[in-house]
Amino acid sequence: MLLATKSDIKMYKKSEPLLLLLLILFCWTSLGQESTRPNIILILADDLGYSDLGCYGSEIKTPHLDNLAANGVRLANMNNAGMCVISRSSILTGKWWPETGYGIKKGENLAEMLKKRNYHTGIIGKWHLDGNPMEKGFDYFFGFLGGYSSYFEGSPDYRLNHEPFSDFGENFYSTDAFSEHAASFIKQSSQLKDKPFFLYLSYQSPHNPLQAPKEEIMKYRGQYLKGWESIRDARIRKQKHLGIVEKQVPLPGYPKNLPLWETLSPDQKDLEDLRMSVFAAMVEHMDSGIGKVIRVLEETGVLDNTLVLFLSDNGTDSFSVMDNEMLKRNLLPGDVGSNYQPGTGWAYASVAPNRLYKISQHNGGIKTGAIAFWPKGILKTNRTNQQPLHVVDIAPTLLELATQEEPKRDKENKDFSGQSFINILENKSWQRNEPMFFQFMDNRAIRTNNWGLVEVDGNGWELYDLKKDPLETHDLASKHPDMVQKLEKKWMSWWKRTSNNDDYRPESTHESLHYKPQGDRGSGEPYVPSAMPRSLKQKYPIDKN
Domains, the chain, ranges and CATH? 39-435 (3.40.720.10)
- Read off the pLDDT band of 415 (50, 70, 90): confident
Percent of the chain with pLDDT over 90: 89
- Averaged pLDDT for residues 497-508: 94
SS3 399: helix
pLDDT tens for 430-444 read 999 999 999 999 999
pLDDT at 14: 44
pLDDT tops 50 at residue 27: no
Cα gap 378→372, rounded to integer Å: 8
Estimate to the nearest angstrom the gap between the alpha carbon of 242 and the chain centroid. Answer: 21
Closest CA to 78 of 399, 414, 368, 451: 368
Q: In whole numbers, what is the pLDDT of the chain averaged over residues?
A: 92
Task: Provide the pLDDT confidence category of residue 32 given band limits of 50, 70 and 90.
Answer: very low
Residue 288: burial class (beta carbons within 10 Å; 0-12, 13-18, 19+): middle
The mean pLDDT value for 230-244 works out to: 97
Count CB neighbours of 29 within 10 A: 10
pLDDT at 221 over 60: yes
Q: Indicate the SS3 state at residue 311.
A: strand
pTM of the model: 0.92
Q: Is the pLDDT of residue 9 over 80?
A: no
Rounded average pLDDT over 234-252: 97
Residue 545 — pLDDT band, cuts 50, 70, 90? low
Percent of the chain beyond pLDDT 70? 92
**pLDDT at residue 412 is higher than 90:** no
User: How far apart are alpha carbons 100 and 399 in whole angstroms?
Assistant: 18
- Element of type H or E holding 445: strand 443-447
- The predicted pLDDT at position 407 comes to 63
User: What average pLDDT score do residues 346-369 get?
Assistant: 98
- Residues pairing with 199 in the sheet: 41, 122
pLDDT at 406: 63
Q: Is the peptide bond before 17 cis (omega within 30 degrees of 0)?
A: no
Q: What does the pLDDT read at residue 511?
A: 86
pLDDT tens track for 142-196:
999 999 999 999 999 999 999 999 999 999 999 999 999 999 999 999 998 889 9
- CA dihedral (13, 16, 20, 23) in degrees, to 10, reads -140
Tell me the average pLDDT across 334-344: 98
Distance CA(412)–CA(142), nearest Å, equals 38
pLDDT of residue 193: 82
pLDDT of residue 408: 57
φ/ψ bin of 13: left (φ > 0), alpha (ψ from -120 to 50), beta (otherwise): alpha
- Specify the 3-state DSSP secondary structure of 516: coil
pLDDT digits (tens, 9 = 90+) for 251-273: 999 999 999 999 999 999 999 99
